Amino acid sequence: MKVFINFLYLLLIQNFIFISVCQFVPDPRYEQTSTLVDNKIYFFGGSTRKPNYTNEVVYLDLSTLFNATWPLWVKNPMGIPSKEILASSCLSSIDNSTVFLIGGLSLDQTNQKIINPLLVYSFNSKTSQWNTVKTTGFYNYSVTLIRMNAVMNDDGNIYIFGGIQVNYTVKSTTHGSYLNKMNVFNTKTLTWSSLNLITNVPTPRASYTATLLNNSLIIYIGGLSKNKININMNEQTIGDTITARNAHSAVLTQDGRIIIFGGSSANSSTRTTTLRAYPDVAVLNTNVSPYKWSIPNISSANSPQSLCYHSAEIYKNIMIIAFGIITSDQLQTSAPLNKNIYLFNVQNYAWISSNTSTSIPPTSKETGSNNQSNDMTIGISVGISGFIFILSLIIGFSYYRHRKLKKNIIEIPGTDYYLTEISNNEKF
């Protein structure tokens, strides 16, 4: 008996050691992209400054108790086929389990030069396997998109406005042009097309956020214009004045509030030149017309560092912030990276203590906004009357149908280590 008990102890101790030793803590990173799939937030790639990009896929499992000081990170066994940054990812509306990873920049494994990855990969979150997706249309292997934000509608189309188109075969310091096209990737036919937008087409921009509302509008907020000026975020909105920024994040609440966090207000073509944007948190109410900004009065308790190039997802009423570059009131060129997770309650506008364990109820989908869509099939003709211009940095775009997605982060480029490459690439 005693032997048995000793054995149990031994087992326990071994488990403890095993768990302690094997607790995976990812390196801080930025320029990753994230997607919420069920109870997991997946983070794809990013730059860890160690010195190169990572192909890691890591996730946070939100279904268990969530202790933000010691979050349960898991490293997915299969990394992205290439190490990459500045891509955009979104969850398939068709099966709710496939993630499309689009665009980005990759690193040649042998000479560490920046190259384009395949334009589209798909990740099966059930099997953790990757597939390369061969697409047709006007993009091919020599061209990629970066610093854009993709949203997917119920119809199986992924909509990507703007971003920067990089032609890697043109090895000049100015390759990469800011777009104001609406590119559409049809995930059923695997073809690309570009909508023929005529009126009120917003100016080219990168590092904005895109949020799909349940009324079929995509709201584009902020970003950097091609002349490297942050785009005014207060045109055609009412309410508080919000500092223009890029590399911020946006999530949508069930009741139609878009919560933005962080970003850089530096008017700079250098991705790692960052400056805090005030306020850290602002709320755009999309239930009123015109849309209205407000700056909530948030207690400083548990408040995070200011960040840009981070990821944000919303799960139930909690906004979860991870990774990113820490911004400050001074222009910085290579500020430190964030290793913390921050939790924000979007109901009462309070940061949640990261040293108390937060129980996020595991059942039922978070924003639950998808339940009531069927009757709302909106037949607005895409591209013409369906295009609603809300502001020069907030544009609305109508779809046939709506589906609220919370793929909102803006991943922005950073350069740091690749000094030689930086001069070539930080302009993206």
Positions touching ligand NAG (CB under 6 A) are: 50, 52, 54, 67, 69-70, 95-96, 112, 140-143, 167, 169-170, 214, 229-230, 255-256, 265-267, 275, 286-287, 297, 353, 355-357, 365, 369-370, 372, 376
3-class state of residue 278 by DSSP: coil
Q: How far is the CB of 9 from ligand NAG (least distance, A)?
A: 22
State how far the Cα of 89 lies from the Cα of 36, in Å rounded to an integer: 10
**Residue partners of 177: CB distance under 8 A and separation at least 6:** 164, 165, 204, 226
Nearer to ligand NAG, 96 or 129 (CB): 96
State how far the Cα of 273 lies from the Cα of 415, in Å rounded to an integer: 10
Q: How far is the CB of 94 from ligand NAG (least distance, A)?
A: 6
Q: How far is the CB of 182 from ligand NAG (least distance, A)?
A: 18
Pair 62, 74: CB distance under 8 Å: no
Q: How far is the CB of 381 from ligand NAG (least distance, A)?
A: 21
Q: Which of 46, 182, 167 is nearest to 107 (CA)?
A: 46
Nearer to ligand NAG, 33 or 354 (CB): 354
Q: Which of 411, 266, 262 is nearest to 334 (CA)?
A: 266
Q: How far is the CB of 34 from ligand NAG (least distance, A)?
A: 18
Find the length of the chain: 428
Which two tokens mark 34? 């994230």
Q: How far is the CB of 126 from ligand NAG (least distance, A)?
A: 12
Q: How far is the CB of 198 from ligand NAG (least distance, A)?
A: 23
Tell me whether the omega of the peptide bond preceding residue 279 falls within 30 degrees of 0, making it cis. yes
Tell me whether the omega of the peptide bond preceding residue 413 falls within 30 degrees of 0, making it cis. no
Nearer to ligand NAG, 189 or 287 (CB): 287
Nearer to ligand NAG, 33 or 369 (CB): 369
Q: How far is the CB of 199 from ligand NAG (least distance, A)?
A: 26
Query: 289-311: string of b/e by CB count within 10 Å (b at 16+)?
Result: eebbbeeeebeeebebbbbbbbb
- Tally of CB atoms within 10 A around 195: 18
State how far the Cα of 222 lies from the Cα of 228, in Å rounded to an integer: 12
Nearer to ligand NAG, 67 or 122 (CB): 67
Nearer to ligand NAG, 336 or 368 (CB): 368
Nearer to ligand NAG, 14 or 287 (CB): 287
Chain residue at closest Cβ approach to ligand NAG: 256
State how far the Cα of 204 lies from the Cα of 15, in Å rounded to an integer: 54
Pair 319, 346: CB distance under 8 Å: yes
Q: Which of 227, 323, 329 is nearest to 274 (CA)?
A: 329
Q: How far is the CB of 269 from ligand NAG (least distance, A)?
A: 12
Nearer to ligand NAG, 3 or 355 (CB): 355
Nearer to ligand NAG, 310 or 404 (CB): 404
